Structure 1
Amino acid sequence: MGEDASELAGRLARDAERVCRHYLSNGRREGAYWLVGDVQNQPGRSLYVRLATRTGVAGGVGKWTDAATGEHGDLLDLIAMNQGLARLRDTLDEARRFLALPREDKAKLGADPLRATPGTILAARRLFSMSRPLPGTLAEAYLRRRGLIDLGQCAALRFHPHCYYRPIRADGCDAPSAAPALICAVTDLGGRQTGVLRTWLNPRTVDKAQVASPRRAMGELLGDGVRFGRVDDVVAAGEGVETLLSLRQAAPRLPLVAALSSAHLAALRLPPGLRRLYLARDNDPAGDLAVMRLSERAGGAGIEVIVLDPMFGDFNDDLRRLGVQALGARLAERFALDDARRFLRA
């Protein structure tokens, strides 16, 4: 992150509990950890922030992990995701505000460095390159089981038959050290791969593996996403890969980007020249907040925003319960007329 970011992260770590009480007020302290639902401050216990070190326990104060998504980082990462901040300089300013430090002279600010180490990004690229094309694999069968039949031109999706899995405390002693996995490439606006999303699978059930954290991402994720199709002037964005692939069944020519979480959706980088943005909302409070924040940014840039609301929990639920024709009919009601002709199935 650079020297200044490292210094601020250290200052935040020295006051980790106050950081949590401010940004994650719906959580509570339990022993050496602050427990809450996610970085968006939803109630729950999936995300844990280390508040103190103990003998025999690895990791530093201020480090956090979301057991539900596999996301992790330090308190600067947490603040960025909690506040929907895409740029490092905005995150540093927010941290200084919290710490009551003076704002740094903008003239001294350089280019934003990557928060993920180059080694992590390279590991993500190696994993993707070692994975197999999707057709004929367990990963394809898993997606088809979820109603995702049209998977042509999905170069961002691959399959690894024996992907390493690092157990967490919630797994107990029965978690596998490796399992088959759907591997999704995360790329930036220029097409450079910056990370991967791994979804571990159970060959017997053709469903997600029975582990505490079946989905995990690694690499430089904030602002980037899993992309399908080439963006010209219109794109649809949402949280999950399966949500966006569900839209693709009814609108096979519509460019898509999956940001992987509500926090990342709020911080999604939008391509230059974009005229219209469709936002596929998830039916939960975190999804509402992400859509609101991204809508405000897009609207401020002169981009028309159209929010697509699912009838059930998300658009994969809609696809499986309503069918592709009914889903297409519902989308046609929300799409601009020229986009309905351009992208929806005839």
Structure 2
Amino acid sequence: MARLDASDLAQRLGRQAEAVCRHYLDAGRRQGNYWQVGDIRNTPGRSMFVRLKDSPKGRAGKFTDAATGEHGDLLDVIRESLGLVDFADVAEEARRFLSLPHPEPEPPPRMHARAPAQTGSSEAARRLFAMSQPISGTIAETYLRKRGITALHGTGNLRFHPRCYYRPDDDSPTETWPALIAAVTDLSVQITGAHRTWLVPDGSDKAPIDTPRKAMGDLLGHAVRFGIPGDVMAAGEGIESVLSVREIVPGMAAAAALSAAHLAAILFPDTLRRLYIVRDDDPAGDGAMVTLIERANAAGIEAITLSPTCQDFNEDIRQLGIDTLRANVRVQLAPQDVARFLSAAA
């Protein structure tokens, strides 16, 4: 994401005003087109109002505290709710928040229940993600750590659902299993789909079912994204393979397209100048790599392939260890990216 000034950041936060309030002012609640809370420091109460939509009275994200007369925007909310002092820290937190996927705001409550979302639709994906919880301390985190994945910064698009529905086919009964839920997002970080990895109850492995991984929603061109995209990023097929590479280059943004076909069609951020293709060592992975290199070069983007020693990078980290994986990735990076991205342990 390009660096933004205060006005740009405030406007972008305003477009996700309800999500900002739910995150930083969670002691409050929605009342019509406003978020109502005690004060800017997230005290329970009803004195402060944050406008959630643009109106003739003002822009979304503007707030007024009726008790004190204090007013401002969502950058002020982030500063005060977290106790930050320097604007650089406020801006960095705002950019971090904007890089996370956020479900579309809920409409104001109605007297009747919402209609069920169509099975497999983008709306169903958004509802599933909204019903899930952060992975910290859950068996989803246990599962990832057992797969050698410990660098979980910037993974707000991964969540956990304790009883996620699974149905093998139309004629089979519905089961429930714990699941790692991943949000699939477009370039504006809006959720278009979701990916489910069903797990055994202790998080030690995937669930013993025929298809333990399934995606839903609008996937073409989109991906499960980690970190804020800039001029360099990595893209691959599987979530675990991409996160394994991110263990070695923790500061590099990355995206998991979920399949070879979708990797070949992934959309590029406007800021991108160099793309690392995290390939799987199989015919489908080779085909995706060739297509993606052609598309990247046509867009003026340098494409560099990262190849695993085993079939994929998660197998590398589990079978060969992180030191061998680091050495393998290091020699494949552009020289200028070794110092910029390679983890300090290298």
* Structure-2 residue corresponding to 1:258: 256
Partner SS, residue 229 of structure 2:
coil
In structure 2, relative to structure 1, the CA distance for the partners of 1:243 and 1:129 (3 Å cut) is: same
Shift, 1:122, TM fit: 1.4
Give 1:177's aligned residue: 175
What's the counterpart of residue 325 of structure 1?
323
The answer to whether residue 199 in structure 2 is matched with residue 201 in structure 1 is: yes
The aligned residue for residue 163 of structure 1 is: 164
Cα distance change of structure 1 residues 232 and 163 upon mapping to structure 2, 3 Å threshold:
same
Match of 1:218 among 212, 216, 219: 216
- Taking CA–CA contacts closer than 8 Å with sequence separation of 6 or more, which of the two structures ends up with the larger relative contact order? 1
| Counterpart check, 1:125 vs 2:123 | no
Partner of 2:148: 147
Work out the CA distance in 2 between the residues paired with 1:215 and 1:339.
33
Structure 1 residue identity aligned to 2:321: G
Letter in 2 for 1:163: C
Aligned twin of 2:101: none
Measured at CA, do residues 119 and 145 of structure 1 come closer, stay the same or move farther in structure 2, by a change above 3 Å? Answer: closer
Task: For 1:247 and 1:197, locate their aligned partners in 2 and report how far apart those are by CA, in whole Å.
Answer: 20
Match of 2:301 among 293, 299, 303: 303
- 1:327 Cα deviation after fit: 1.3
**1:228-243 matches, cutoff 5 A:** 228-243=226-241
Aligned partners of 1:310 and 1:210: how far apart in 2?
A: 27
4+ residue segments displaced more than 2 Å: 116-119
Q: Which residue of 2 aligns with 1:284?
A: 282
2:344 equivalent to 1:343: no
Give 1:331 deviation, angstroms. Answer: 1.1
The CA distance in 1 between the partners of 2:325 and 2:174, in whole Å, is 38
Give the Å deviation of 1:309: 0.6
- Identical positions, percent: 54
More helix by share: 1
- In structure 2, relative to structure 1, the CA distance for the partners of 1:218 and 1:119 (3 Å cut) is closer
How many angstroms apart in 2 are the aligned matches of 1:333 and 1:184? 31
- Note closer, same or farther for the CA distance 1:139–1:119 as it changes in structure 2 (3 Å cut): closer
**Structure 2 counterpart of 1:72:** none
Matched to 1:188, the amino acid is D
Answer yes or no: is the 8 Å Cα contact 2:274–2:303 preserved in 1. yes
Q: How far apart, in 2, do the equivalents of 1:271 and 1:205 lie?
A: 34
**Contact in 2 for aligned 1:222/1:268 (Cα 8 Å):** yes
> RMSD in angstroms over aligned alpha carbons?
1.9
Structure 1 CA distance for aligned equivalents of residues 129 and 329 of structure 2: 33
Counterpart contact for 2:139–2:202, Cα < 8 Å: no
Task: Name the CA distance, whole Å, in 1 between partners of 2:120 and 2:176.
Answer: 21
The superposition leaves residues 308-334 of structure 1 with CA deviations (integer Å, 9 ceiling, x where unpaired) of 110001000111122222211211111
Output one character per residue of 1:121-175: Cα deviation in whole Å (capped at 9) or x when no partner.
1111111011010011111111111111121221010000001112227xx96x7
Aligned counterpart, 1:138: 139
Gaps of 5+ in 2: 1-116
Residue in 2 that maps onto 1:313? 311
**Cα distance in 1 between the residues matched to 2:165 and 2:281:** 32
Question: In the alignment, residue 124 of structure 2 is paired with which amino acid?
Answer: A
Residue 204 (structure 1) shift: 4.7
Q: Secondary structure at the match of 1:335?
A: coil
Amino acid aligned to 1:264: H
Equivalent in the alignment of 2:93: none
Equivalent residues in 2 for 1:3-22, closer than 5 Å: none
Cα deviation for residue 119 of structure 1 reads: 8.3
Task: Show the counterpart of 2:47.
Answer: none
**Is residue 178–residue 200 contact of structure 2 (8 Å, CA) maintained in 1?**
yes
CA contact (8 A) 2:244 2:313 kept: yes
The answer on whether the counterparts of 1:168 and 1:212 sit within 8 Å (CA) in structure 2 is: no
Shift of 1:120: 1.5
Is the Cα–Cα contact under 8 Å of residues 250 and 325 in structure 1 kept in the other structure?
no
SS of the residue corresponding to residue 251 of structure 1 reads coil
Q: Tell me the number of residue pairs that the alignment of Structure 1 and Structure 2 aligns.
A: 228
- After TM superposition, give the deviation of residue 338 of structure 1 in Å: 1.6
CA deviation map 1:7-44 (0-9, x unaligned): xxxxxxxxxxxxxxxxxxxxxxxxxxxxxxxxxxxxxx
Residues 118 and 207 of structure 1, relative CA distance in 2, 3 Å threshold: closer
TM-score, length basis structure 1: 0.63
- Structure whose CA Rg is larger: 2
> Structure 2: how far apart are the matches of 1:273 and 1:158?
28
